Amino acid sequence: MEVKVVKHILEANERIAYQNRNLFDDRGIVVVNLMGSPGAGKTTLLERSIEALKESTPMAVIEGDITSSYDAERIAAHAIPTVQINTGGACHLDGNMVRDALPELALDGVRLLVVENVGNLVCPAEFNIGEHHKAMIISTTEGDDKPGKYPLMFQVSHVLILNKIDLLPHLSFDMERFKEEARKVNPKLTVIPISCTTGEGLETWFRWLEERTRGKA
């Protein structure tokens, strides 16, 4: 008996993501897929980035969550185009969800679109949404063993933002071990230690974003 093999769902997603990417390129919009655990500081980092860059780099944001619009309301308060995607249980955004959300965004003149993915260190790494860059944020409170536990997220990311470094004196987090383990998984990974609370390191992150929107990297 012949068994028909159904093409993997990721293949269908890749086709839609490719279409999204073409749309972004045609409009001159650089897209960053921001991924990380719940509580790592994704939304706070976005708020700090908007405050610093929105005059020089017109921005828009897609917020992904299983339910609620809390984060989207926080971002919209900064007067930039914002749309919320509620996945209804799915642990990640995919190309189709992003495609469906785009008509709800005022993208004229936008140079940078940041997609805040659902809080998760596994599924978001597997699904392309048409982004140019994958950015991962992790906090020191999550421990220094995460590169070995969640290697795919580290492998696919272009930049890693290590948040809450102001708490290091109160934690057993080994910074050098963390960086070493992260670069074993991805030798090309850029690591940017920051504190959204004190502002330490944020200028390096802002510069990374500006360089991408200007096509320098």
pLDDT band at 11 (very low <50, low <70, confident <90, very high): confident
Q: Which long-range contacts (CB under 8 A, 24 or more apart) does 67-72 make?
A: 71/42, 71/43, 71/116
What local confidence, expressed as pLDDT, does residue 106 receive? Answer: 93
- What phi and psi, each to the nearest 5 degrees, are found at residue 38? -60, 130
Summarised one tens digit per residue, pLDDT across range 151-196 is 999 999 999 999 999 999 999 999 999 999 999 999 999 999 999 9
Span 122-133, pLDDT tens digits: 999 999 999 999
Task: Give the pLDDT score at 3.
Answer: 54
132-137 mean pLDDT: 98
The per-residue pLDDT for range 39-78, each reduced to its tens digit, is 999 999 999 999 999 899 999 999 999 998 999 999 999 9
The continuous run of DSSP H or E covering 85 comes out as: strand 82-86
9-213 has which fold? Answer: Rossmann fold (3.40.50)
pLDDT of residue 6: 46
Dist CA 162 CA 106 (whole Å) = 31
pLDDT tens profile 77-109? 999 999 999 999 889 999 999 999 999 999 999
Mean pLDDT on 23-29: 97
Please report, for the chain, the start and end positions of each structural domain, with discontinuous segments joined by +: 9-213
Our measurement of the distance from residue 98's CA atom to the centroid of its chain's CA atoms, rounded to an integer in Å, reads: 13
